[in-house]
Structure 1
Amino acid sequence: MCVAQCTTKLLILVFSSSLGGQGQWHAHTFDQWSGQATSASDGSFIHSHGGLSNRQFVHGCFYWHLHFRNELLVLDVRAMELSAINLPPERGTNSFALVEAAEGMLGILTEGYGEDHDSDPFWLTYSILRNNQWHWNKVIQLPVNDAALVGVAGGYLLLEALYTTTAQETLKFGCFSVAVKTLQVEFFAELSKPFMYARLYAGFPPSLCAPTI
């Protein structure tokens, strides 16, 4: 799959192969792109990352964040159709991760702070999309001073965080996990230094898996 992001047109190019066949490329156009790109008032469309974020995959659909409209661009890989849905209005500019909610619904975990990042707690807000409307579900307070969302894989959200040890009151780098089904928070691992631009992956690629019959 390849995304061609132009000024007046957005194309999703998908290569589909069949067993014994040569495969074929198919192009899918997002009809609303031209009007959205030209109406961007904050100039985000021409920034280095353009108008799209890195993709996320949930319940058989790819999702990109349309920065200039605060919407999600959705590609349903089963129907090969493009659409857009609104993000929660209270999300603001905070980072978020999309997760699989029950009954095939879409969930979103959004990071949040108080007014003072140094002393106020860090939390995640969990909302679920029902009938094209976001419904607040839960606030999850985390035992960290600051955190960045790494990604979702294997049923867990991983966060890279700064946290304070109870005994020594010193700041450390570490990872915390949030179980998508239960929203339970656990300490995952201590880090010697923060990692940047990491991509989360769960399981082994086919080349490393044990051979099967």
Structure 2
Amino acid sequence: MASPLTAIPDHLLTEIFLRLPEPADLVRASAACVPFRQLATEGSFLRRFRRLHAPPFLGFLNYDRFHPALPPHPSAPAARALAVAADFSFSFLPSRCRWAVQDTRDGRVLLHRLYKHEEQAPVFQELVVCDPLHRLYVLLPPVPDDLADSVNHPIPMAPRLRRIPFLVPLCEEDTETAAAEEKAFRVIWMAYSKTKLDALVFSSSTGQWQATESKDWSALVHGMTDKTVMSRTNPLFLSSHYAYGCFYWDWVMIGRKKLLVLDTRRMEFSIADLPPGEWSVEEIAIVEAGEGKLGMFGFHGEFASHLSYTIARNKGKSPVQWQMEKTISLDSGYKYHIRDATERYLLLTKTEASSPEHPLFEYFSINVKTLQLQRVCAKQSRRMYSWTHIYTNFPPSLASRTI
């Protein structure tokens, strides 16, 4: 008689479960018996499983609303269940304030307070990190006066464009530290002026803000331009992306596009080059191509008929020797825009180039691994959703451990 499955050693069962193709398969396997469920819900196993399997693309958030992926998108059932269970109106937040979505990460949402016209908004507005599924939140303390005063901000542009708060991804290392950090979060607030870049970090473990990296522009751009560049022009940071422990901003300075890089492990700023060629403004996205290599999606021209995907041959935060991997053909006669990107997904919009009064905006996701273009949803409106944020995964903390 064959041995029961429960007689298989745990280390072999772990390897079998890690090779299951979809998270749904792991859920079904864990329901078979108590030992299987104990193994499948153990913290170190789940961290390994998440590294090997992309979290589900569930939809996207804009200003104050969640747009779930609709059929025939493969994530539509999970997205529909999340839309019913979670509170994306954020009614559980302090009612004395109006809040707007600033960033999303690992199922959590970062929001900033909206101020009325007659109110005097502080240099650093109030922030809150919440779990919309379990209706829990953490109101971040204000940035201390001494830290706020140390940040020079004389650039004459909207405050939200020169102070950028964002969530940092969870620790990915399979250690006890990672298990502790899974129940914590960090927020980085990048502030820039004509003379320097600053980064302030909030850790939920300590409940405090700390000053970390401060970089003079003259040192950062040394060797690529003269020292008077920052007195002649303001830097313009466009969309930001995260890959392999670093944040990347596509950055326009004196008509040239570069990548501004923030290494969140060392908290160091640096500059990297884009692949050769003319890339459309606001139409690039940095992703994880696998094996520690960066990938980049980008458009050439306003009415692009294809989306280019290039991969850096080297590993590391400073990509070199970019190589064209694939060209994704798109329907002609339409405008396409990259709205957001995560490590493993891209969000595109498609609309008619003729621009009717109420055009149909279609939203598509692209899986970086498969490069499949899948329709998320569509909306007929005068304008597309602005400041969209891809929502993936379910909050891994603030609740009992589940798959």
Residue by residue, what CA displacement relative to the aligned partner does 1:118-165 show, whole Å, maximum 9, x if unpaired?
A: xxx62111111223222121111113511111112483211111159x
2:166 is aligned to none
Unpaired runs of at least 5, structure 2: 1-187, 315-319, 354-358
Higher strand share: 1
Match in the other structure for 1:51: 236
Residue 237 (structure 2) pairs with residue 63 (structure 1): no
**Post-superposition CA distance 1:152-193 (Å, at most 9, x none):** 2483211111159xxxxxx74211222111111223222122
Aligned partner letter, 1:158: L
Q: CA deviation at 1:205?
A: 6.8
1:87-126 counterparts in 2 under 5 A? 87-94=274-281, 95-113=283-301, 117=303, 122-126=305-309
Corresponding residue SS for 1:196: coil
Between Structure 1 and Structure 2, how many residues are aligned?
Answer: 194
Which amino acid is the alignment partner of residue 271 of structure 2?
A
Q: How does 1:48-197 map to 2 (within 5 A)?
A: 50-68=235-253, 69-94=256-281, 95-113=283-301, 117=303, 122-131=305-314, 132-143=320-331, 145-153=334-342, 155-162=344-351, 172-193=360-381, 194-197=383-386
Change (3 A) 1:27 1:79: closer
Cα shift at 1:57: 1.3
Structure 1 match to 2:201: 14
Per-residue deviation at 1:25?
A: 0.4
**Equivalents in 1 of 2:260, 2:246: separation in Å?**
10
Distance 1:8 1:34 in 2: 11
Q: Distance in 2 between matches of 1:101 and 1:91?
A: 22
User: Do the aligned partners of residues 24 and 2 (structure 1) sit closer, same or farther apart at CA in structure 2, a change above 3 Å counting?
Assistant: closer
What's 1:167 paired with?
A: none
Separation in structure 2 between the aligned mates of residue 122 and residue 40 of structure 1, nearest angstrom:
36
Structure 1: stretches of 5+ with no match in the other structure: 165-170
The one of 221, 228, 232 equivalent to 1:38 is 228
Q: Distance in 2 between matches of 1:204 and 1:138?
A: 27
Q: C-alpha distance in 1, partners of 2:195/2:343?
A: 37
Amino acid at match of 2:244: H
How far apart in 2 are the matches of 1:81 and 1:28?
Answer: 6
Q: Aligned residue for 1:168?
A: none
8 Å contact kept, 1:178–1:184: yes
Q: Does 1:198 align with 2:387?
A: yes
The answer on whether the counterparts of 2:287 and 2:343 sit within 8 Å (CA) in structure 1 is no
Between the aligned partners of 2:341 and 2:193, the Cα distance in structure 1 is: 29
Higher helix proportion (structure 1 or 2): 2
Letter in 2 for 1:198: W
RMSD: 3.1
Larger radius of gyration: 2
2: CA distance, partners of 1:153 / 1:74:
16
Q: 3-state SS of the aligned residue for 1:92? A: coil
